[in-house]
Structure 1
Amino acid sequence: MNLKYTNKKITGMLTVIPENEVQFIDTIDNYNFSKRQSMQLGKIMGYEKQRIVEPGVTVSDLCIFGLNYLFDKDLLKKDEIDALILVTESPDYILPPTSNVIQGKLNLGHDVFCMDINQGCAGHVVGLMQAFSLLDQEAINKVVLLNADVLSPKASIKDRNSRPLAGDGASITIVEKSEVANEIYANLKMDGTRREALIIPAGGFKTPSTAETAKLIEDDNGNFRALDHLCMKGDAVFNFVQKEVPIMVESLLEYANVQKDDIDYFMFHQPNKFMLKKLADRIGVSYNRLPHNVVERFGNANSITVPTVITYNLGEKAEHEEYLLCMAGFGVGLTWCSMLLKIENLDFCRMIEY
């Protein structure tokens, strides 16, 4: 599906990273592999360190911390917020929606439109699509897009396939109407027939958590995980990304009538360093234009990785310069989507610690 938006813009971006840092080398003894094997794999995949919340910290805590930072710095005013969109796969509660929890704790107005979206790796671009659609309403002028997850507890500490990549965090993206005519292009695809490539089998209403679903089971590769844990079929995910994402990006550029060389940066979801380098090779862009330096420093924080790669690599430069970006997310669902848009002279582009 091709999508097009006009007279919309991003005006600010903040990433909230947990202060707690875990070094991969300190976790090697958890895995059923030799230290040498784990270190070799870590070098290839980008297993170095990850940011993980302390026990008890939830999505709403991270989002409220980031929003209060913006309020305190006079970068955002409460009465300016018309809509609050939260993209997460780790809500505070089954109900009520966590966006309502955030709205209530911050004492935002009753007219604020609140919405939770259950999306993962593609969630930042999906959230932007929803934000842009809301801005078509006369009553909505500023949307706060929140992306946040604390999924590290769902990655088994004995699963070398997923645990070293797990990261937590949140991001806040401010989206507004633009007085200057512009065009934003996007595309989106979903395939639920491949849903089991990335799944937490138990914990929902289909398979409630029990003592049985909490038991660790060894897989064919020597990893131990329970049905309550994230299960990632690495080969299936890798092949999906390498096949579908380049096609998607080429289709987006053709739709927008933009040449690959016109794009300043390809800011993609950060699953692991190896996958991103192979993806850059297939698309035909340099590693400098498709950064892959986030997962090895912060971990894979689901839909927060795209804002993280932007705030980490551009930072204050985005507050004074302009960039044409191709953003893309791909993973759980399976879902894959991309967006072509320009960011310029942002009010803020920062990263803070919780």
Structure 2
Amino acid sequence: MSTAAPDRVVIVGASAAGLAAAETLRRSGHTGTITLIGDESAAPYDRPPLSKEILSGAWPSDRLPLRSDADLDALDLDARYGYAATRLDVATRTVLLSNGTKVTYDGLIIATGVRPKNLPGAPAHVLRTASDALALKERLGPGRRLVVVGAGFLGAEAASVAAGLGTQVTLLEPARVPLAHAVGDEVGSILAQAHHDHGVELRTGTSVSEVVPEGVRLENDSVVEADTVLVAIGSRPNTEWLEGSGLSVDDGLVCDEFSAAASGIYGAGDVARWHNPLFGTSMRVEHRTNAAEQGMAAARNVLGARRPFAPVPYFWSDQYDMKVRAYGYLRGHDELRIVEGSLQERTFIAAYRTDDRLTGVLSMNMPPRRLRPWQQAVSTRTAWDSLPAPSRPIG
């Protein structure tokens, strides 16, 4: 791939990954044009607070911007907010926008993120943008009935906030316990019990076929009534605009270990599926920390650094009185071990094995300092057999 320093860098996607890329370009000495394209009219803002502080009303929406106007002005960006990228022509190095204009590039960073999946039938709420969060917030409170479809992190956080506001909440999940595919049945069962303890009606093993005016219809044809429906069943990478570009797309923009999709083209954030050499697998991570880190890595590489992007992914979630933190790659794990604390007391650290290595750790209500040695152990690919024995039996 070319190592020539680009003069014109185009970043498609004006959220955490795109902003991190722009800032890194300037910090690295890039003096050329940086065009930042975003389909929302707002400047880059933070998304994790949408399902927490914004939905609960703890924050006003003006706390969401990631940087002040002065900070953004200092970056000297060619900002194109409110326009989506609709086509990429790799041969001419051109991005076509929804307003019909074209932007040419020497280096391109694709950070277009994801959009929520939805269900057929009547309109329902989703939770991805600031306007989504504010619209849903108006539907919560005492005397209101909310159905949340999907008990993943987003759905669980929204259910937690809604219940705390006095809303009657029903949480529907097709799996046997929430997040079983990611955190395991044992930890998923603890998350399930927390919903029950806070008055949320959690129904697992329950699939929804459509949204109806009075609520949602289940696959057994029964109806769960609600005033408001939130669909939180996952997301789709925003890659349709790349059709015909010649870039490889497979549940995200396919990138190598350098986050490169092609010569001079890099992916970053939720949209990027890249080969993480630390874990030896392809992954696409939809978490805020990874978006910023990959945006920085992509910017350095577009300038010619050519360094593999090999992070230990990190995510966190606030649900009721629980603070969940995790490092590593937990999906597809072969074994879970409680290495500190107690599941029943909801204060613990769980370690995850894939093959013969420690590949992830998750903590609940533990001080961050207690998790740092485990983060380091994941990053050094520690052998599973060298870990301490379980502090207590699981169960």
Alignment TM-score > 0.5, same fold: no
Using the size of structure 2 for normalisation, the TM-score is 0.27
Q: Larger Rg: 1 or 2? A: 2
Larger relative helix fraction = 1
RCO higher in 1 or 2 (8 Å CA, sep ≥ 6)?
A: 1
